[in-house]
Chain A
Amino acid sequence: MLSALAPAWTSPTIDYHALAPEMILAGGIVLLVLLDLFVADAKKWILTPLASFIVLGAFIPVLTLALSDGGVRSLFDDRYMVDNFSLVMKGLFLLSGYVVILLTADHLREGDYYQGEYWFLLLTSLLGMVMMASSRDLVSIFVSLELLSIPAYMMAAWRKRDLRSNEAGIKYYLLGVFASALMLYGMSLLYGISGSTKLVEISKYLGTDLTSVRALAVFFIVVGFAFKVSAVPFHTWAPDTYQGAPTPVTAFLSVASKAAGFVALVTVIFVGFPGSHDVWQPVFWILSALTMTVGNVLALKQTNIVRMLAYSSVAQGGFILMPLAVAGIDGVANSALRAIVTYLLVYAATNLGVFAVVMVVARKTRSGEISSYGGLFSYAPGIATLMTMFMASLAGIPPFGGWFGKFAAFQSLVSAGTTWAYALAIIGGINSAVAFGYYGKILREMWMKPVPDGDTTPVTVYSSLSVALVITSVATLVLGTFPGIPLHFGDIAGLAGAFGK
């Protein structure tokens, strides 16, 4: 059958401008691997700036594409789209990747275990995320998901001799692979009933009338991505993986990898199954309510800062899922998409900043306990102020970014106006109040408690980490004080083909 199709095949025209970010990343990855082989050990440091130049280099075509008024660029028979949504998310991935490189550079200065493959893995995972933002076909979504996940499994297990890092890697790997296997089964059913792997075609075949096999397919795919975004009850890997992995990797997983999961979820739901909202809306309602509540309650009793941040990131995921629970209602789709994009932008800036502060403090106190933050303000007022700002943003206090993300999410729920939407908004409201409990705990330690060991030598912040702190804190502050900016990104984040448009 395949050979019969061969003569009809013509080479597709390729829009190289639209593919430029991916091609720069791919070329850079090859260059990094080759350089790592041939450069003498004493000169290996050049790989770090090179990796950051590659990421920033890939960001340039994203900017030129955003400025060029070419509309939606569609490649490979509409299976790969470069629209505003994908450009905003590509920008988010590349900038978070750059901040993670800065964090890692600082980590390496501390003499942590290093191999040149680290940059290769990080950039490969970034390439997968950048591709995910454009994928509009089951095959390319699957390949991008694996391209971003497989390197991440290895990065979580990066410290080979460390039992915790081993455990982090294995748990992440087993649950991640299991989730993608479930998702694939759903995809195979979907292909079977619709006869195509293209999301736009699938949405035509799925229509609105539901058979059990359609519901099963949609359910499996949603569950597969729920693992990726660590939604309760599929979150069990997240705290252990975040705690055991090296801190820069944790920052990468909790921000970029999670955002990639949401991008995939949004693409599949909005482009692929808009008509099946009877299946996915209740699933997202339950996932969102459970994720917020369980994440918050478990975060309250943590004593380790990274573990607390892991549960906080699970809970934040619940807020990002909120708009999806109403996205199928007429007229809400746009505001739901805007809320998700806004929340992801704000969350990325704030959470990366928190991890930068955690790294600064851990270097001095050599401890991951929340109690080690005691008296931080007395010897490191700048760092304590930044941490206060990030915590306030995560908790949703104006004028820092977080409040606007939450505002947009609640706004889309209220505009839906159904009883279920209001109920979810109330659960969300209670949860954002509960979250003050654990964010406040850190503030109390920093501002009111004495220094636990009496050691008040000032902390050292090296240049790469201070650049990361400046980027994240400025982004957090600007996104919160000028809500027009995230709103603008949310507004232009048009997803081509969403809801059959």
Chain B
Amino acid sequence: MLLNQFLMLGAVLFCIGVYGVIVRKNAVLVLMSIELILNSVNINLLAFSLRNGTPDGHTFALYVIAVAAAEVGVGLAMVLLMYRNRRSVGLDDLSEMKG
């Protein structure tokens, strides 16, 4: 089986996601980067599940998908709230509190 290729894809997606979270200054783009990491996790889980021959990984991936949907729901609601109050989704503008 092409396990290595799947893991490579997962690792690349993971790195792109982490890079995005660190350098992006727009809340929506950071959310999208986090989604990339979660999907790299799913690819890993499914690839490992096929190799190990156990269904645990499939189940885990389903939970990850469901929870990621809930997370994004909450996250988008918060970004919307931020846009309503400030007319901006820039993370650099979040500087009410310092120190």
Q: Is the A/B pair a real complex?
A: yes
Q: Which residues of A are in contact with B by a Cβ distance under 8 Å? A: 1-2, 5, 138-139, 142-143, 146, 150, 153-154, 157, 160-161, 163-164, 166-167, 169-171, 173-174, 177-178, 181-182, 184-185, 187-189, 191-192, 195-197, 239-240, 243-244, 298, 301-302, 307
Interface residue B79 (Cβ < 8 Å from any Cβ of A): yes
- What is the CB-to-nearest-CB distance from B86 to chain A, in angstroms, rounded to a whole number? 7
Q: Which of B18, B44, B75 contacts A173, CB < 8 Å?
A: B75
Residues of B within 8 A of A146 (CB): 67, 70-71
Q: Do residues B57 and A184 form an inter-chain contact, with CB atoms below 8 A?
A: no
15 residue pairs A–B, Cβ–Cβ below 8 Å: A2-B58, A139-B56, A142-B60, A164-B96, A174-B27, A174-B31, A174-B34, A181-B17, A184-B37, A184-B64, A188-B48, A191-B48, A192-B51, A240-B97, A301-B99
The total number of A-B Cβ pairs within 8 Å is: 124
- What is the CB-to-nearest-CB distance from A154 to chain B, in angstroms, rounded to a whole number? 6
Q: Do residues B37 and A182 form an inter-chain contact, with CB atoms below 8 A?
A: yes
With both beta carbons as reference points, the residue of chain B lying nearest to A151 in the complex is identified as B74
Interface residue B54 (Cβ < 8 Å from any Cβ of A): yes
Which 5 residue pairs spanning A and B have beta carbons closest together?
A192-B48, A188-B44, A181-B37, A195-B52, A184-B41
Q: Do residues A184 and B38 form an inter-chain contact, with CB atoms below 8 A?
A: yes
Q: Do residues B34 and A170 form an inter-chain contact, with CB atoms below 8 A?
A: no
Residues of A within 8 A of B57 (CB): 188, 191
Interface residue B78 (Cβ < 8 Å from any Cβ of A): yes
- What is the CB-to-nearest-CB distance from A149 to chain B, in angstroms, rounded to a whole number? 9
Q: Do residues A185 and B44 form an inter-chain contact, with CB atoms below 8 A?
A: yes
Chain B residues numbered 60-98 whose CB sits less than 8 Å from any CB in chain A: 60, 63-64, 67, 70-71, 74-75, 78-79, 81-82, 85-86, 91, 94, 96-97
Residues of A within 8 A of B7 (CB): 192
Q: Which residues of B are in contact with A by a Cβ distance under 8 Å? A: 7, 10, 14, 17-18, 21, 27, 30-31, 34, 37-38, 40-41, 44-45, 47-49, 51-60, 63-64, 67, 70-71, 74-75, 78-79, 81-82, 85-86, 91, 94, 96-97, 99
A139-B56, A167-B97 are known contacts; what are 7 more A-B pairs with Cβ within 8 Å? A2-B58, A146-B67, A160-B81, A166-B85, A187-B60, A196-B56, A307-B99
C-alpha spacing A187/B70, complex, angstroms: 20
- What is the CB-to-nearest-CB distance from B61 to chain A, in angstroms, rounded to a whole number? 9
Q: A170-B27, A177-B71 known; A197 and B56 CB under 8 Å?
A: yes
- What is the CB-to-nearest-CB distance from A489 to chain B, in angstroms, rounded to a whole number? 32
Q: Do residues B71 and A170 form an inter-chain contact, with CB atoms below 8 A?
A: no
With both beta carbons as reference points, the residue of chain B lying nearest to A161 in the complex is identified as B85
Q: Do residues A170 and B67 form an inter-chain contact, with CB atoms below 8 A?
A: no
Q: A181-B34, A188-B45, A191-B57 known; A244 and B97 CB under 8 Å?
A: yes
Chain A CB count within 10 A is highest, among B34, B45, B60, B91, for B60
Residues of A within 8 A of B27 (CB): 170, 174
Residues of B within 8 A of A139 (CB): 56, 59-60, 63
Q: Do residues B56 and A178 form an inter-chain contact, with CB atoms below 8 A?
A: no
- What is the CB-to-nearest-CB distance from A6 to chain B, in angstroms, rounded to a whole number? 10
Q: Do residues A164 and B97 form an inter-chain contact, with CB atoms below 8 A?
A: yes
Q: Do residues A138 and B71 form an inter-chain contact, with CB atoms below 8 A?
A: no
C-alpha spacing A185/B30, complex, angstroms: 17
Residues of A within 8 A of B47 (CB): 192
Residues of B within 8 A of A178 (CB): 21, 34, 37
C-alpha spacing A160/B85, complex, angstroms: 9
Residues of B within 8 A of A164 (CB): 96-97
C-alpha spacing A160/B86, complex, angstroms: 12
Q: Do residues A143 and B41 form an inter-chain contact, with CB atoms below 8 A?
A: no
Q: Do residues B34 and A192 form an inter-chain contact, with CB atoms below 8 A?
A: no
C-alpha spacing A169/B78, complex, angstroms: 7
Residues of B within 8 A of A160 (CB): 81
C-alpha spacing A241/B35, complex, angstroms: 23
Q: Do residues B64 and A170 form an inter-chain contact, with CB atoms below 8 A?
A: no
Q: Do residues B63 and A166 form an inter-chain contact, with CB atoms below 8 A?
A: no
C-alpha spacing A202/B51, complex, angstroms: 17
Chain B CB count within 10 A is highest, among A173, A184, A301, for A184
Chain B CB count within 10 A is highest, among A177, A182, A302, A307, for A177
Residues of B within 8 A of A5 (CB): 55
- What is the CB-to-nearest-CB distance from A61 to chain B, in angstroms, rounded to a whole number? 26
Q: Do residues B94 and A170 form an inter-chain contact, with CB atoms below 8 A?
A: yes
C-alpha spacing A191/B50, complex, angstroms: 12
Q: A174-B27, A177-B34, A185-B40 known; A191 and B81 CB under 8 Å?
A: no
Q: Do residues A154 and B74 form an inter-chain contact, with CB atoms below 8 A?
A: yes
C-alpha spacing A196/B52, complex, angstroms: 9
- What is the CB-to-nearest-CB distance from A310 to chain B, in angstroms, rounded to a whole number? 10
C-alpha spacing A169/B82, complex, angstroms: 10
Q: Do residues A174 and B30 form an inter-chain contact, with CB atoms below 8 A?
A: yes
Q: Do residues A150 and B70 form an inter-chain contact, with CB atoms below 8 A?
A: yes
Q: Which of B14, B45, B75, B79 contacts A177, CB < 8 Å?
A: B75
Q: Do residues A167 and B67 form an inter-chain contact, with CB atoms below 8 A?
A: no
- What is the CB-to-nearest-CB distance from A243 to chain B, in angstroms, rounded to a whole number? 5
